[in-house]
Amino acid sequence: MRTTDIVIIGGGPAGLAAALAAREAGVSDLLILERGNELGGILNQCIHSGFGLHTFREELTGPEYAARYMDRVLAENIPFRLGAMAVRVTADRRVTYISREEGLETVQARAVVLAMGCRERPRGALSIPGSRPAGIYTAGAAQRLMNIDGYRVGREAVILGSGDIGLIMARRLTLEGARVKLVAELMPYSGGLKRNIVQCLDDFGIPLKLSHTVVDIHGRDRVEAVTVAAVDGQRRPIPGTEERVPCDTLLLSVGLLPENELTREAGAAMCAATGGPVVSDRLETDLPGIFACGNVLHVHDLVDYVSQEAALAGESAAAFVRSGGGETGRRVRVAAGNGVRYTVPQFIGVDRMAEAAVVRFRVTDVFRDVCVRLSLDGRELTRRKKRALAPGEMEQMTVTRSDLAEARADSVLTVELEA
Amino acid sequence: METRELICTGCPLGCPLTVTLEPGGPVVKGHTCPRGEAYGRSEVLDPRRTVTSTAAVIGGRQARVPVKTAGAVPKDRIRDCMEAVRRLRVAAPVGLGDVLLPDCAGSGVALVATKTVERT
Ligand SMILES: Cc1cc2nc3c(=O)[nH]c(=O)nc-3n(C[C@H](O)[C@H](O)[C@H](O)COP(=O)(O)OP(=O)(O)OC[C@H]3O[C@@H](n4cnc5c(N)ncnc54)[C@H](O)[C@@H]3O)c2cc1C
Ligand code: SF4
């Protein structure tokens, strides 16, 4: 069987940054597997600007951001296969993939980096009644059709869900001459970045209807209208608030799901709150030598954080190849406390952690003027004031090795909000 | 005195800004960094946006090439820029950064390709 030091599954921004970091850490025998026909992942269809402000101090479009990493991958001669889809990963790090040139191929890797990204929640995952006419797309599929294939998707649209992709598509459709009648959001707040609400909706006078949902879809062959209704505190439609909105297109932007079939089949422990695997501060899953980063680990709104996180996964994989690993010693659990939906990582291997570890998290609701508190077994380590927190924006806190010096094997590090 | 509530779009933090139109010029409050102040001022004096879209490619490996205005254009010129992009046909190969229109729809800002598209 062929062997490779590190196999990286997925050639999006996460996979590319992981590969570059592993190479920088001295591992030359790498292989990136990408099922698509180009590197860059989802960035290829994200033609709007707003990428890379943190990393490059400029505002790049998705393809430009991807090109910065692709150029380096080419310059470093890092091997990659396009049209190569990984179909199986085992706990002992055998990766099987299918490609047209090679057919079915298996590689024994010393370390594996999972960077498969995420996919959109389809309509089936919701339960909108009504018929199934043409004209219903997930926002990302519509984005791909318009931006890569150059199709028009519709003339009059309603968008369900105010996540970033939905907002970006509202502007894109409007600029292409379509009329976006409204964006309906089930929750009382938007899941998208504020800047996208300003630049994609407010700029064009597109109404954002919070606490509203689509309760019916009309039309036989093509969408003719949808019924939108207000919802109550339990997110149930309120009778009498229904409004019929004529349109020929319905875009669904109702959330992203990390793509973890391979991870699950390999037997990695999963985290229900993120939909991704449970990882340590070095982004190692509970399967030694298998690491995860990017949207497959938890859904990110900013690609800069994806690249940072992925670089850590690449470095950790390189360290594993050099000196083996698996988590030994004290293993501190990281808990999501009051107001916090999840944390990544879910545990910290204190005895082998770096000087500091970044704990990323999302909050459960919109909060104003609160403190984020980090405590070890109830003893406060740090707190930081925040003017505003929202579920749509990922936050982070740093914990240092000296913070955890006195941790016991069963200690708990809690991230929580305090008024 | 007129005040306007804005959300800074300079970065994803999205700081809430209050801009007061004083006789000596706009005064910005609520920003966390200098970019926010600059944004607040320009948003009331001369609002601008970067336009991104895709243009048709002839003889390329891909049917469309993504494009952007090299800088922000006045908000009221966005439609004209989109129309100029719609009329555009670019022959492959196209390189990332290639200037496709030196002055996009009279905005004074160039239109550039944001991706490389090889010839078929
Ligand atoms: C519509 C949209 C708009 C966004 N806007 C912004 C923005 O304005 N600013 C910003 O900073 N961020 C933005 N983001 C976020 C950022 O782009 C993503 O978080 C980032 O691209 C995720 O990178 P990734 O590598 O984890 O996943 P992806 O980019 O999805 O890459 C995963 C790759 O893995 C491949 N793959 C999956 N499974 C397999 C398999 N089994 N075998 C082989 N290959 C496989 C896929 O083909 C894909 O190429 C946006 C995201 C989206 C979707
Ligand atoms: S003021 Fe500065 S920190 Fe705040 S949103 Fe604007 S650019 Fe970002």
Sheet with B3-7: list strands edge to edge.
B3-7, B16-22, B25-29
- Cross-chain CB nearest to B66 (options A63, A195, A301): A63
What pLDDT does A288 receive?
A: 94
| Chain A residues lying within 8 Å of B18, measured CB to CB | none
- CA separation, residue A330 to residues A315, A378, A398 (Å): 21, 18, 19
What pLDDT does A124 receive?
A: 60
Contact B39, B58 (CB under 8 A): no
Tens digits of residue pLDDT in A207-247:
999 999 999 999 999 999 999 999 999 999 999 999 999 99
What pLDDT does A125 receive?
A: 55
Going by CA atoms, what residue is nearest to atom 45 of ligand 1?
Answer: A10
Q: Which residues of B touch A (CB under 8 A)?
A: 6-9, 11-12, 14-16, 49-54, 56, 62-64, 66-68, 75, 78, 82, 96, 114-116
What pLDDT does A72 receive?
A: 98
Phi and psi, residue A349, nearest 5°: -85, 90
Higher pLDDT, B9 or A34: A34
Contact A416, A363 (CB under 8 A): no
- Kindly report whether the global pTM for this prediction surpasses the value 0.90: yes
pLDDT tier for residue A391 given thresholds of 50, 70 and 90 = confident
User: In whole angstroms, what is the distance from residue A360 CA to residue A369 CA?
Assistant: 19
Helix ranges (H only) for chain B are 34-45, 78-87
Interface check for A376 against chain B (CB to CB < 8 A): the answer is no
What pLDDT does A327 receive?
A: 60
Helix ranges (H only) for A176-224 are 194-196
ipTM associated with this complex:
0.87
Interface check for A61 against chain B (CB to CB < 8 A): the answer is yes
Can you tell me which atom of ligand 2 is nearest the CA of B30?
1
Q: How far is the CA of A43 from the centre of ligand 1 (A)?
A: 6
What pLDDT does A123 receive?
A: 66
**Residues A364-390: what's their mean pLDDT?**
92
What pLDDT does A195 receive?
A: 82
Going by CA atoms, what residue is nearest to atom 5 of ligand 2?
Answer: B14
pLDDT tier for residue B107 given thresholds of 50, 70 and 90 = very high
Token pair belonging to A235: 């997110």
State the greatest distance between any 2 C-alpha atoms of chain A, in Å, as a whole number: 66
Could you count the other beta carbons within 10 Å of the beta carbon of residue A147?
23
User: In whole angstroms, what is the distance from residue A343 CA to residue B68 CA?
Assistant: 36
Instruction: Report the gap between the CA of B12 and the closest CA in chain A (Å).
Output: 6
**Residues B65-82: what's their mean pLDDT?**
95
